[in-house]
Structure 1
Amino acid sequence: MANRILLLLVEDEPLIRMTLQDELEDKGFELVVATAGRQALSALDAYAGRLRGVLTDIRLGPGPDGWEVARRARELVPAIPVVYMSGDSGHEWTVKGVPKSVMVSKPFALAQITAAVSMLLNGANT
């Protein structure tokens, strides 16, 4: 497991979270999973040295949102790849999103998420 890429997955909707978790683990990724913004910020602080990417929903209920999670991730690891997922906040991405990130609109095909993660990871390694 030491060779697997560690990602932070932040999603408050249980069905979407479990589906993404299954898909990404099947693709060989190791995950730290958070269900809310505060939990995601704690995970970033705990795992920043090992994390290679962040996938975050935008609307996470009370507390920090996905925009804040991504900004904190970039404070800790300036080049960390970020994939945003949203059903209604995509139009804010150009203003609130971190540079060199990707927005995937819900509903999405699982292949879109794995392609976005792979594209950003490959870009981060060049």
Structure 2
Amino acid sequence: MSCRTILLVEDEALILMDIEAALIEEGFQVVTAMNGIKASETFEADPTRIDGVVTDISLGKGPNGWCLARQIRQQMPEMPIVYMTGDSAHEWEAMGVPKSVLIPKPFVHAQVITALATLMNHSNQA
């Protein structure tokens, strides 16, 4: 697999660093953002460099993970999206984008890696 770049969006620094380290260990390049505004700016700067998105739902100031994913999917309809949440799992069916995965917190890194790999494989076949 060529080096894939993941946009990781998480407003809690320790969780962000922990997931970033796990993704890097799996061979991904990771671009991080701690809120929806920064994530949008990062994506808009060069949408083609992002191969997948892992986002928390509650991101503090600016767009939440639901809005961010919809915005990204408007430009890149096949973009793999993995949501992480401690409290919004019940909203996924109504708010999540199609062909996304939601992983409730707490989780193990393998769940995020597996979800990402599965979605990336499907988007490559589309």
Quick check: TM above 0.5?
yes
Shift of 1:8: 0.4
Letter in 1 for 2:18: T
Distance in 2, Cα, partners of 1:28 & 1:17: 17
Give per-residue Cα distances to partners, 1:13-40, cap 9 Å, x unaligned. 1111000000000100011100001001
- Partner secondary structure for residue 48 of structure 2: coil
Give per-residue Cα distances to partners, 1:83-120, cap 9 Å, x unaligned. 00000001000000000000000000111010110110
Q: Structure 2-normalised TM-score?
A: 0.96
Letter in 1 for 2:67: E
Q: Provide the residue aligned with 1:84 in structure 2.
A: 83
Unaligned runs of 5+ in 2: none
Give per-residue Cα distances to partners, 1:53-78, cap 9 Å, x unaligned. 10000000121100111011101111
Matched, 1:105 2:104: yes
Unaligned runs of 5+ in 1: none
- Partner secondary structure for residue 125 of structure 1: helix
Letter in 2 for 1:4: C
- Partner secondary structure for residue 51 of structure 2: strand
Q: Provide the residue aligned with 1:120 in structure 2.
A: 119
Shift of 1:47: 2.4
Q: Provide the residue aligned with 2:61 in structure 1.
A: 62
Q: Structure 1-normalised TM-score?
A: 0.96
Shift of 1:49: 1.2
| Aligned length in residues | 124
Distance in 2, Cα, partners of 1:18 & 1:77: 26
- Partner secondary structure for residue 3 of structure 2: coil
Distance in 2, Cα, partners of 1:18 & 1:50: 21
